[in-house]
């Protein structure tokens, strides 16, 4: 594929050689012709959309099938809503009458929707006499599509408890893929395989596991990697891997060296703890590219991470603007980009931006340090305490492997509480003394690393921190665990 920031990816797909391998999975290779025929098959099962607001839900795990579904939906004038099977069961809209799935879903999930099951669609064989005609017809239809009218809708993670739907068109997504390509600039693309642990319904998975590799002309491993053993089997492909991972997967990896030839590992969804970063670099033996972004904004910044202290860099089409609410407040990250049309704030000069809750410290015009979330800064006994800074101090403690810190209140008293995974040394010491003595031992170690009022007054020790489905620390569950521990809360 020719690479430039103004090309139309849909036109490129329509013009690709029929034998070009776009996807690979455990069932074999899938070339352009197969994808185009699948698009034709799926679109033939759908009526024309009654209006541009109508939606079709797509809960499909395989990348090859997902691409075919999305484009087929666009051909009939619908918005494509990519969701998990769980979200499909919880989502209701009179504008979403159809559901396309490769799962075996319960009737409660289907909700009387008209359902198309991918496994029920018979695969077209190359000797089909209508093959050439169908390919030509599908290419022609794709060439006529307007990227501005090709929309993908996704749900945010709902960390606030109220998930919302974000709709982006293909033109914005392509600009984002172009910015990523200009940053990574992968060489020897014919010998690279893109594989990942993140589902396609998640904005990070859709972008880095599907749109970016298609833009770059890189073959995609269509199935999701769930276990480390599945990653290790890709060594037999004898290809260099771009491995798109989430923090949850990286935290679960054992100490063995990965047998695959990984050329780059990407991580997003949360800053990696230093011990996880080091463990990942030692296991995969390749550079680590960490991504900062959101469903609303797309990618905002990146860094090639070696120590966890590197500055973040803006993407070529983006701008980071620090904004203070008043003279004494922290600088908050505001974001604007060619690939972002989601705005929630206006600057004094009239510039529309997306204002995040991230506290930053600029280092020049295009680099910055990240100092946690504004919403994770609390007042305790009239002291402004950053829960993220407390977490970092705990993670730096030799007895703790990983910690999550929350703010609690009991009997009108505010304090911090920590759920922690102990290191091997911490486990040995904990087993050698009473719970009370160990609690005081940790608090003594933390003296001087933070204000005294910030040191956690309550600890819960666990084997593994609870994570959301996308691999982020689930603070809502952690707060609930502490409420169960505290009488009267």
pLDDT of residue 84: 87
Q: Are residues 337 and 401 in the same domain?
A: no
Last residue of a domain, one of 243, 272, 288: 288
- Asked if residue 250 is part of any domain, the answer here is yes
pLDDT of residue 157: 61
Based on the structure, what is the number of domains in the chain? 3
Beta strands in 305-399 (DSSP E): 312-314, 318-324, 331-337, 345-346, 352-362, 367-373, 377-380, 383-386
Q: Are residues 319 and 467 in the same domain?
A: no
- Asked if residue 113 is part of any domain, the answer here is yes
Which of 312, 326, 404, 416 minimizes the C-alpha distance to 358? 312
Strands 192-196 and 413-422: unpaired
Q: Are residues 370 and 393 in the same domain?
A: no
Range of the domain at 143: 9-288
Residue 160 pLDDT > 70: no
- Asked if residue 293 is part of any domain, the answer here is no
What pLDDT digit, counting tens, does each position of 293-313 carry? 989 999 999 999 998 889 999
Last residue of a domain, one of 343, 374, 405: 374
CATH of the domain at 456: 3.30.300.30
What pLDDT digit, counting tens, does each position of 216-273 carry? 999 999 999 999 999 999 999 889 999 999 888 998 899 899 999 999 999 987 778 8
- Asked if residue 66 is part of any domain, the answer here is yes
Q: How far apart are CA 279 and CA 265, in angstroms?
A: 13
In the predicted model, what is the mean pLDDT of residues 316-324? Answer: 92
What pLDDT digit, counting tens, does each position of 75-131 carry? 999 999 999 888 888 888 889 989 999 877 777 667 778 999 988 887 766 556 677
- Asked if residue 260 is part of any domain, the answer here is yes
Q: Are residues 386 and 369 in the same domain?
A: no
Q: Are residues 133 and 234 in the same domain?
A: yes
Give the residue with greater pLDDT, 128 vs 421.
421
Q: Are residues 362 and 401 in the same domain?
A: no
Which of 244, 254, 241, 138 minimizes the C-alpha distance to 191? 241
pLDDT of residue 163: 66
Q: Are residues 202 and 328 in the same domain?
A: no
Q: Are residues 370 and 392 in the same domain?
A: no
Read off the pLDDT band of 485 (50, 70, 90): low
pLDDT of residue 125: 61
CATH of the domain at 356: 2.30.38
- Asked if residue 431 is part of any domain, the answer here is yes
Q: Name, in order, each residue with C-beta under 8 angstroms of 121's C-beta and a sequence gap of 6 or more.
A: 38, 41, 42, 45
Last residue of a domain, one of 272, 288, 304: 288
Q: Are residues 318 and 280 in the same domain?
A: no
Q: Are residues 274 and 332 in the same domain?
A: no
Percent share of the chain, pLDDT over 90: 63
- Asked if residue 161 is part of any domain, the answer here is yes
Q: Are residues 367 and 388 in the same domain?
A: no
- Asked if residue 1 is part of any domain, the answer here is no
What pLDDT digit, counting tens, does each position of 24-54 carry? 999 999 999 999 999 999 999 999 999 999 9
What is the Cβ-side half-sphere exposure of residue 182, based on CA atoms within 13 angstroms?
Answer: 14
> Any bridge partners for residue 103, and if so which?
none
Task: Produce one character per residue of 309-319: b if its CB has 16 or more CB atoms within 10 Å, e if not.
Answer: eeebbbbebbb
Q: Are residues 370 and 387 in the same domain?
A: no
């Amino acid at each position: 594929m020719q690479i430039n920031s103004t090309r139309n990816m849909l036109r490129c797909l329509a013009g690709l050689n029929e034998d070009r391998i776009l996807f690979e999975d455990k069932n074999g290779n899938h070339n352009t012709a197969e994808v185009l025929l699948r698009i034709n098959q799926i679109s033939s099962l759908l009526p024309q959309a009654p209006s541009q607001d109508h939606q079709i839900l797509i809960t499909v795990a395989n990348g090859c099938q997902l691409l075919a579904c999305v484009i087929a939906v666009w051909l009939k004038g619908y918005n494509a809503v990519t969701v998990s099977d769980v979200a499909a069961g919880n989502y209701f809209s009179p504008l979403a009458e159809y559901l396309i799935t490769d799962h075996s879903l319960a009737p409660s999930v289907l909700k009387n929707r008209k359902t198309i099951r991918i496994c029920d669609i018979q695969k077209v064989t190359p000797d089909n006499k209508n093959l050439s005609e169908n390919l030509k017809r599908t290419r022609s239809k794709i060439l006529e599509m307007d990227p501005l009218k090709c929309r993908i809708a996704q749900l945010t993670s709902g960390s606030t408890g109220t998930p919302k739907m974000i709709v982006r068109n293909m033109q914005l997504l392509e600009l984002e893929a172009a910015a990523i390509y200009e940053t990574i600039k992968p060489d020897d693309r014919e010998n690279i395989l893109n594989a990942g642990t993140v589902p396609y319904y998640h904005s990070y998975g859709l972008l880095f596991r599907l749109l970016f590799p298609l833009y770059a002309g890189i073959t995609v491993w269509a199935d999701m990697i769930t276990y480390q053993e599945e990653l290790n089997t890709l060594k037999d492909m004898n290809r260099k891997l771009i491995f798109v991972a989430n923090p949850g997967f990286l935290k679960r990896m054992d100490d063995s060296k990965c047998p695959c030839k990984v050329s780059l590992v990407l991580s997003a969804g949360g800053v990696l703890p230093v011990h996880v970063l080091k463990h990942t670099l030692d296991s995969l033996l390749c550079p680590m590219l960490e991504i900062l972004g959101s469903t609303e904004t797309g990618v905002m910044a990146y860094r090639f991470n070696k120590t966890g202290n590197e500055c973040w860099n803006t993407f070529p089409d983006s701008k980071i603007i620090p904004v203070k609410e008043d003279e004494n407040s922290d600088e908050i990250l505001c974001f604007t980009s060619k690939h972002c049309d989601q705005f929630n704030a206006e600057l004094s000069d009239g510039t529309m931006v997306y204002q995040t809750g991230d506290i930053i410290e600029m280092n020049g015009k295009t680099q910055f340090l990240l100092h946690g979330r504004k919403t994770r800064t609390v007042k305790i006994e009239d002291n402004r305490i950053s829960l993220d800074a407390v977490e970092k101090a705990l993670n730096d403690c030799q007895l703790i492997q990983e910690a999550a810190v929350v703010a609690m209140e009991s009997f009108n008293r505010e304090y911090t509480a920590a759920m922690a995974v102990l290191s091997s040394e911490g486990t040995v010491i904990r087993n050698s003394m009473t719970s009370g003595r160990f609690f005081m031992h940790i608090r003594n170690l933390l003296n001087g690393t933070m204000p005294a009022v910030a040191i956690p007054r309550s600890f819960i020790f666990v084997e593994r921190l609870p994570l959301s489905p996308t691999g982020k620390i689930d603070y809502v569950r952690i707060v609930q665990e502490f409420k169960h521990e505290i009488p009267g809360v």
